[in-house]
Structure 1
């Protein structure tokens, strides 16, 4: 049978009211008493009744994370980072997948499940800047993630896409590579990961006095391994000459690497390649993949902290923008030094 609050109170030697106050994070509790109650909760494995807790406090201790696709390794690892950051705040996380579809994203935001959570972390992909009014009328505290909406109606946590892509491209240029694929382009996109990373690529070329060649900007509509592999097969079939690849995410880079090696090309001898996202698999590919660490842990921790601040405050500061610090991680796929 489930452990009751009465049993926790008896084990901790306090009243049921004190246990309730600790669970609901009331500040006027002596630290020693709080720790004694928490120790009893851990020892007995007590699970609060979130529905009853919500009725009493107006909060459930649950937040929602809306992401496009758990099949995409970046979003899977982001979800893991968010859950770990939320656990530090004693928050549970419900994960919703939108598929990157605008209608589904809006349906989730305006659906009945929003009444079950205290706040939402919303990784935007389907909606855009023109939809800010549809987001502004959502009463649930919210933090936006991603690159589709800037200066919007809610706090926004994102990465330095342009600067990071520029650094990745400059890394390849510093190796003497000159015909670089911008691998992952979305035609006509200006705001969004693909558009911003293409901009960083172009900036790096401009700084070196190298003209931008649109034939080297390769469209990859979806960013999974299979899509990267298919796009690279088309590139090789076309006969396009290149000696480096700046892939817009790690998954399409890994797919492209497989096809390049099947074609007998050496990495990095014939083609140097760098990805973006620093997913776990990049450490174990053959060769290991150079990449950009976009600050995923910082993004998760900052987003959860900002959301918790919004949940606790009836009125807070105007919407805030935060960009995480990135790091270039050079590995074997761009390392031409023999070992």
Structure 2
């Protein structure tokens, strides 16, 4: 028996071919009753979408990739949720990959894993540089997330980011404004990633503006941005003599901050009475921690919307488009870990 086609499903369900296409691609705006009727027809007829046929018909597969360092990190899991929703609204399906911060894997996934399958890729690189990705971006739809390591007068690919220097500066200024004078920086990684470098820059800038001195002992090196790294580094900070240990910690990620809080608890130090703690990412986990974690919160929905829209515009354009840099907003949410209970 010949494979069922879109028109067969449409006739069986009593709807238009366009409606069937919207349901299959997850496009919103179809009523629950109609969606269920179409899906029932899909099951009974054994319909399977044919990406190759769609590509021949439209020139696109309708698939885009999202490549992030770690799916176990709440920030990237939440971001992936928003990217999937944004893409569905524009008629695209998202294939999600994790790079595990490996430069070779980042470069491989940036090309669309063979490019014959994917129409474009959104990549959050940690190890491969934008300059290395520039040749890819000139040939294949690619949007980068995260920090820029090249000058602001150069744009080698589409890029969506927050101002990391300003975000770190705001977080540190918040701690200094509370009267904290020995502020530690947790997130200076051994590999000197762009994220680490820029957040340290913002941290030092805020210290200078507050008239405070940077103490290298309060910026221990870490292996990565995990809870465990935060735990180990903060244990060392808590072991310093009473007059030398920090009275506040700016953590470059919420995961580092959650590990730091555990170490402070083990040391018998109270948060925020003895040591105030703030992170970056605005993860849901931080909101429900005890005490709730103060955090700089990037607008993940805005980041996803900017990235997906930028990528889809490049996919659908018949002419080359100039590369653009999009700055997404963020906000600082002061919670119990810095200002105490309301």
Partner of 1:281: 285
Distance 1:297 1:130 in 2: 27
Q: Compute the displacement of 1:242 (Å).
A: 0.8
- Per-residue deviation, residues 190-227 of structure 1 (Å, max 9, x unmatched): x6111111111111111122222222222222111111
Maintained 8 Å contact 1:275/1:289: yes
Q: Compute the displacement of 1:129 (Å).
A: 4.2
Partner of 1:68: 69
The equivalent position to 2:176 in structure 1, one of 142, 150, 173, is 173
1:253 lines up with 2:257 in the alignment = yes
- 1:1-339 correspondence to structure 2 within 5 Å: 4-10=5-11, 19=17, 23=21, 43-45=37-39, 46=42, 48-110=49-111, 112-136=113-137, 139-150=139-150, 151-186=154-189, 189=192, 192-239=194-241, 240-336=244-340
Distance 2:31 2:81 in 1: 28
**SS of match in other structure, 2:332:** strand
Q: Compute the displacement of 1:317 (Å).
A: 3.4
Maintained 8 Å contact 1:136/1:154: yes
**SS of match in other structure, 2:220:** strand
Maintained 8 Å contact 2:164/2:195: yes
Distance 2:32 2:297 in 1: 36
Q: Compute the displacement of 1:39 (Å).
A: 8.1
Q: 1:167 to 1:195 in 2, by over 3 A?
A: same
Q: Compute the displacement of 1:283 (Å).
A: 1.0
Structure 2 unaligned segments of length 5 or more: list them. 23-28, 43-47
Q: Compute the displacement of 1:109 (Å).
A: 2.8
Alignment: residue pair count: 323
Distance 2:31 2:267 in 1: 63
TM-score calculated relative to the size of structure 1: 0.87
Q: Which moved more, 1:249-258 or 1:122-131?
A: 122-131
TM-score calculated relative to the size of structure 2: 0.86
Structure 1 unaligned segments of length 5 or more: list them. 25-34
Distance 1:275 1:36 in 2: 40
Q: Compute the displacement of 1:22 (Å).
A: 8.3
- Per-residue deviation, residues 139-197 of structure 1 (Å, max 9, x unmatched): 321111111444443210011111111111111111100100011113573x6111111
Q: 1:77 to 1:301 in 2, by over 3 A?
A: same
- Per-residue deviation, residues 40-61 of structure 1 (Å, max 9, x unmatched): 5663124633232122211111
Distance 2:103 2:30 in 1: 47
Q: Compute the displacement of 1:112 (Å).
A: 4.5
- Per-residue deviation, residues 81-121 of structure 1 (Å, max 9, x unmatched): 11111111121100111111111111223464421011110
Distance 1:51 1:41 in 2: 24
Distance 1:182 1:262 in 2: 20
Partner of 2:45: none
